[in-house]
Amino acid sequence: LVDTIGDITITNDGATILDKMDVQHPAAKMLVQIAKGQDEEVGDGTKTSVIFAGELLKAAEELLEKNVHPVVIVNGYKKALEEAVRFANEKLAEDVSLEDLETLKKIAATSLTSKAVHGVRDYFAEIAVKAVLQVVEERGGKKYVDIDNIQIIKKHGGSLFDTKLVYGIILDKEVVHPGMPKRVEKARIALLDAPLEIEKTEIDAEIRISDPEQMRRFLEEKENILRSFVDKIVSVGAN
* Extended beta strands in the chain, E state: 136-139, 142-145
Q: Is the pLDDT of residue 5 over 90?
A: no
pLDDT, mean of residues 34-60: 88
Among 21-25, 75-79, 141-145, the range scoring the smallest mean pLDDT is: 21-25
* Interacting residues of 98 by C-beta distance below 8 A, sequence separation 6+: 104, 133, 136, 143
Tell me which range, 63-77, 112-126, 128-142, is most confidently predicted by mean pLDDT: 63-77
Single pTM value for the model: 0.62
Residue 225, burial from CB neighbour count under 10 angstroms (0-12, 13-18, 19+)? exposed
Rg (CA), the chain: 29
162-198 confidence digits (pLDDT tens): 999 999 888 788 888 888 888 888 888 888 888 888 8
CA dihedral sign, ordered 227, 230, 236, 239: negative
Asked if 23 contacts 42 with a C-beta cutoff of 8 angstroms, the reply is: no
Asked if 114 contacts 12 with a C-beta cutoff of 8 angstroms, the reply is: yes
CA distance 13 to 6: 20
